[in-house]
Amino acid sequence: MPNEDYEAYIQAPCAGLFLRGPYRHKKAGRFLLKIPSCLSAADGGARHLLALGLSPASITGDLDSLSPELQEQARTLGIPAEKYPREKDETDGQLAVEKLIREGYKTIILFAAFGGQREDHALSMLNFCLEKRKAEGLRFIFTDGESVIFPLSGPERLKINSEDYFSQKDFPDLRISGVPLTAVRGLTLDGLKYEVSGLDLPAGTTRLVSNEPAASGRFSVTFESGDLILFMLKEEKPSSEG
């Protein structure tokens, strides 16, 4: 179960949604996968769950990225599919998130949500979920199983234990970055290598890129207003081989 710091961000009930992007079943993914009370899939995202030996509660989308073999496997398992035409105004991911919202979920963890060749899908889903965060107070977490992204909107307080997502041996390569999409007021960062208190930042600044955790791994991000995307990722070092 998540620690008490993490529970301060999660609002029950919580659902997990698998999209069709790359997924690496690393420590972050394993930790986040323990939290939802329901797991579902948007179209090809079902292949990740089936590969993990898990059955989604439902599959939503046009099914154009789910192979006929996996569609047959889903039918055999009795997994309901909410099928839409391929030509439509919304992405499969948006339709799946809206379905979970209608079912009453307050926090949605989006797995396999970024990376690969469809950055347009990832950015559009981040933007869509951030608007839902602002308009309806819902909470979202994005992960590819190894890195984690939080779309945040003030007033906000997020408390994190980095060891939930990364091993301590990864801390030297762990980067914690913030991207302010609007002006952010009253930003306080506690427990990071570079701390700030009550800072006002304009939209678009790169000042929050490449922060690092302190030795304890516990940190908090607090701000009064504005929209901020928080990234936790492990920096890949270039190979020393020629």
Residue 202: what residue type?
P
- DSSP structural state of residue 236: P
Q: Please list the rounded mean pLDDT of every run of 10 residues in the chain (242 residues).
A: 61 95 95 96 92 93 82 86 80 94 97 83 92 95 96 95 94 96 97 96 96 93 97 80 50
Residue 240: the pLDDT is 54
Decide: 221 and 157 in contact? Cβ < 8 Å. Answer: yes
Count the residues in the chain: 242
Residue 177 burial by CB count (10 A; 0-12/13-18/19+): exposed, middle or buried? middle
- To 10 degrees, the CA torsion angle through 53, 58, 64, 65? -30
Residue 178: the pLDDT is 97
- Distance from C-alpha of 90 to C-alpha of 82, rounded to nearest angstrom: 14
3-class SS at 123? helix
Residue in the structure block whose two tokens are 């035409």 = 85
Residue 79: what residue type?
I
Number of neighbours of residue 48 by Cβ within 10 angstroms: 22
- Distance from C-alpha of 185 to C-alpha of 112, rounded to nearest angstrom: 31
Residue 221: the pLDDT is 96
Residue 70: the pLDDT is 84
Tell me phi and psi for residue 196, to 5 degrees: -135, 160
Residue 132: the pLDDT is 96
The answer to whether the peptide bond before residue 13 is cis (omega within 30 degrees of 0) is: yes
3-class SS at 233? strand
